[in-house]
Every structure is written in C-alpha cells, then in structure tokens.
Amino acid sequence: MKKWIPVFVCVVLLLCGCADRKTNTSATDPSTESVSESISNTESSEEESGEIQPPSREEIEEKLKSMTEEDLKSDDVITASLDTVGNWGKWTAFLEEVEKGENASVIIVTLTIEGDPIVNYLEYSKTNDEYYLAVDNSRDRFGTSQFAEYTRKYLSVIDIRYETKDGEWSTASPREWHVVMDDRRYNTQEEYTAEMKNEQPTMVFIWAYPSIEG
C-alpha cells in the first residue's frame, strides 16, 4: 500500500468540518457485545418518553481513548497496516448489515508510517440512513492530537487504478480500494480524484485496503 495514504488521511480529516452526532442506537446485553457495540450502545440520557439517546461526543471520545493495547488488537477490531488487514470478516459483516438496512458499527485501527494507531469508529444508522465516523489520533506521536466527528449520507468504496508508463490505466498491484464517506456517491476514480483536489473537500477519507483473497 502506498506510504502517502496516512498523510492524505490527516490532510482530509483536518480540512473537513466536524458534524453533529445524530445517530440513534438501542441497548444490547453488555456480556455479548463487541467493542464497537459497547460504544454504540452507551447510554447518555433518557427523555421523559424513556427513549434512549445516542452517546455524546464526550462519551465516545472517552471510550476510544480508553481502549487498551489489548482492545486495539482484539478480534472485534479491524487492524490495517500498509499492506495487511486483520479481522477482515468484520468489514464484510459491516457491509452486509448495511446492505440489509440494519444498524451496524465497526472499529478500524489504521497505522501511521511510524506504527502509531489511529482509531476509527464507523457506524451506520438505519433510522437516519447515514454514516457517523469518530476519529481518535491521540496515540499518534508525530501528529496533532485531536478527536473528530463526521456525519455523511453515503459510503463509497473506490477501486483504485494507476497510470502506467504507456499512459494506460491499470489496477494497482496488489489491487487497492479506498473507503470514503460524503453527501454524494463516488462511482468512479475520476470523481474521487476530482474531489481530492477540491480546496474545501466535503469527502472524509476513512481507510484504504489491499485485495483480500478468500
């Protein structure tokens, strides 16, 4: 995977504005929930009607920052380095739940070039039909420590191709996909690249991964 990806992630995250937290979730049995479910099911308050309100920015930030080294390497968390992905099934399960129109959440831990973890909590709300992303880079020794939140309508997975010496386009070797969210869909690499060049991009880069066999 290309080493410029972590740099681009930081640039896009810093340029994009933080969005309000609006996703509604329902509580489950704590003894059976995964790390990501424990975050989405945090109860912040109840209205007079008894409806459970989604966790606040502060509660989500505290949950992500309090994750231990063991939590970050658990089977409930996707771990992504420059050329490998751990617990790949968690990502496909997340996409399958979203496809069915169900609430879904996943934690993706990406690594900087220096090996520092960036913790991404991604959630889909069927109530609002939108995606919520919380990013904690407090463990990045060489970055600006911050916690950021974003809410967007669509999630896009783009098949990345590279131009050859002949001027032709070909898929990356190994093949590579970039995952982003925005209030519009990105159906082609050309649309994606054009938004990257925007001086005020609305697109939020989440992560990139190589081809996974099997």
pLDDT digits (tens, 9 = 90+) for 22-74: 444 333 444 446 666 667 665 444 444 444 456 788 899 999 999 999 999 99
Short-list 98, 144, 111, 133, CA closest to 206 = 133
Token pair of 109 as six digits: 């831990």
- Burial class (CB within 10 angstroms; exposed 0-12, middle 13-18, buried 19+) of 115: exposed
Distance CA 80, CA 84 (A): 6
- Between residues 112 and 122, the one the model is more confident about: 122
pLDDT digits (tens, 9 = 90+) for 73-118: 999 999 987 678 999 999 999 999 999 999 999 999 998 888 899 9
Tell me the whole-structure pTM to 2 decimals. Answer: 0.73
Confidence check: pLDDT of 208 > 70: yes
Token pair of 170 as six digits: 């070909």
pLDDT digits (tens, 9 = 90+) for 153-166: 999 999 887 766 66
Q: How confident is the model at residue 201 (pLDDT cuts 50, 70, 90)?
A: confident
The radius of gyration computed from the CA coordinates of the chain, to the nearest angstrom, equals 17
